[in-house]
Amino acid sequence: MKTRLALENQTGLGRNLSDSASKNPIVDSLEQSLKAHLTHQPTLQEQSAAPHVPWATGVDEIDACLPDCGLSRSGLHEIEPLTPTDMPSLSGFAFGLLSKLRSHQTIIWCVTAQQVGDYGHLYAFGLERYGISPAQIIITKVNHPLHLHFALEEALKTDGVAAVIGEGPRPTFTGSRRLSLLCQTHARPCVLLNAKTSGSQADGPYGSAALTRWQIAPTQGVEDPLDPFGPGLPTWRIALPRARGGRTMPDMRETRRGPDMRETPEQFGTPNQHNNNTSYPWRIAWDEQTLSFRKASLFSSGAVSQDPDTIGKSRSRLVGRTG
């Protein structure tokens, strides 16, 4: 009754009560506490561990294109492959980003059954190279692609979650807008790994409420100093065709391949008569010793000498998946 009275006094509904009742010291104390609480209700962003620390990649050239030199910790982000066969490499890059969150909370990975059938499950022991414990990962597999969006929404509403990952068909604009609002409300990021299918409308423009969209393609791994005869460090070519509030960079499809479908120097931004930009698309590698991304030179040891067969064999190591 006293709590109800204090609430009525706070909202103005109990002002017709007698002054003697409102001067009760217990009621007054409770009323003052409620006023102090309602005057400044801390938001979920303020309750997070490090709300103002930028979620940066650690590569200066890339972070300079992002708003506030980092990704939003309460926003929707998309990662898409350059071609459908590049889809497995997205998980490695995504875990690299998740590692930069520096969080020990749970990560919910929502995936469609079709994606699991095509590319296999996540390889638990492969997560260690990204500084993520397998115990942090909760995998939610949905049988129908339409159920993926519902699973993502429920995951974002769950307490104690560091981030939510969705792997499957990209959502509609309305669906992405709902996910974006949930990210802002619950102060946690959602990263979508948008699957592509050959011959579909996936290569055309589409609406999305995502703050950033990354384009990923695997490339020859730079030499691992601890394993010079191995396939090398996980290495990707990175493009940023969407960065709301930041600097949007060109789509990677604007670059070209040589006649044998191998990567040409122009793709890596080597200066020539067609391309004066010396650093785009970005080429980065993941260093598991420092748990960070770093720039990878095209002319690093072992980067040019590998043939396409070696690249294909090293993809399973790059993406950390098993069939």
- Closest listed residue to residue 223, CA positions, set 297, 312, 293: 297
* Residue 57 backbone dihedrals phi, psi, to 5 degrees: -80, -25
With bands split at pLDDT 50, 70 and 90, how would you rate the model's confidence at 116? Answer: very high
The average confidence (pLDDT) of the chain is 77
Sorted by where each begins, the domain ranges of the chain are 2-41, 53-199+206-322
Is pLDDT above 50 for 21?
Answer: no
What percent of the chain has pLDDT above 90?
51
**Cα 139 to chain center, whole Å?**
16
What percent of the chain has pLDDT above 70?
65
Q: Decide yes or no: CATH 3.40.50.300 for domain 53-199+206-322.
A: yes
Q: What is the pLDDT of residue 33?
A: 58
- Closest listed residue to residue 164, CA positions, set 217, 211, 97, 116: 97
Instruction: Give the predicted TM-score (pTM) of the model.
Output: 0.72
Residue-wise pLDDT for 43-61, tens only, equals: 444 444 444 577 999 999 9
Q: Rg of the chain over CA atoms, in angstroms?
A: 24
CA distance 279 to 297: 10
CA distance 28 to 9: 10
